[in-house]
Chains A and B, each alone.
Chain A
C-alpha cells in the first residue's frame, strides 16, 4: 500500500511570495489533514477535510492560507503572501476518519521563508 505523498520536499522563497504544497493521501482514506510543525514544536492542525468538505479550519490563518480538496482525493495548501514566521515543515496526513483511526503522515515539505 502506497503511503501519503507530498511535494515538493523542500521550498525556499522570499517573504511576500506565494507557495503551494501538494498532497496525495492513502487510497481509500476519506479524511485528509494539513499540519504545521515549527522547529521544536509538535504538529499543529491547520485544516481537516472529510472527503471534499472542511471539518475543522479553526487554526488556519485564513488571511494568507488556503486549502482545497476538490475531488475528495488529493489536496493543495497555499500560502499567499508568505511571512518569515511561516517557515516550518508542512505535514499532510490521512486516515479513514473514525475516532479510533490512525493518521498516517507523509514526509512533509520544509518551507524556508527568507
Chain B
C-alpha cells in the first residue's frame, strides 16, 4: 500500500536560516507527490507537486522540494525562512492503484520560525 511518512513532528528554525521539512514515501510504481501548508483555522493550501521530470520542483512562496528516488524522499526546502512560514506542513502521495487516485497524507510537521 502507498504511504508517506513525516518523521519530525516539529521543526524549529531561526528567521533567515534555511529550512527543511522531511518526507519519505512508499509506493508501487511512479510516485506523484505533493506538499500542502495549513495555517490556523484554514484549509490546506497547495505548495507544489512532483509528477515527472526535474527532481527539483519550485512552488509557491519561495518553497521548493527535491525528489530523490533512491532515498524515496521528497523533502520541502526554503533558502531563507520567514516568521510567516510558521504553519503545519503536509506531504502527500497519490495512490495510482485506486480508481479515484486517492491522495494519502502524512501526519504533518509543525514549523516554527523564530524571529
Using a CB–CB distance below 8 Å, which chain A residues touch chain B?
4, 6, 31, 40-45, 48, 50, 55-56, 91, 93, 98-100, 102-108, 110
* 16 cross-chain CB contacts under 8 A: A40-B108, A41-B107, A42-B92, A42-B105, A42-B107, A44-B105, A48-B102, A50-B100, A56-B102, A91-B43, A99-B32, A102-B49, A105-B44, A106-B43, A107-B42, A110-B41
Which of chain B's residues has its CB closest to A103's CB?
A: B103
- The answer on a CB contact under 8 Å between A41 and B102 is no
Contact of B46 among A40, A43, A103, A110 (CB under 8 A): A103
**B98 contacts A by Cβ under 8 Å:** yes
Chain B residues within 8 Å of chain A by Cβ, number:
25
- The answer on a CB contact under 8 Å between B94 and A99 is yes
A50 to B101 alpha-carbon distance, docked (Å): 11
**B72 contacts A by Cβ under 8 Å:** no
CB distance from B108 to the nearest CB of A (A): 5
**B34 contacts A by Cβ under 8 Å:** yes
Known: A56-B100, A99-B94, A107-B43. 15 other contacts (CB 8 A): A40-B108, A42-B106, A43-B44, A43-B105, A48-B100, A50-B100, A91-B43, A100-B32, A100-B49, A102-B34, A102-B46, A103-B103, A105-B44, A108-B42, A110-B41
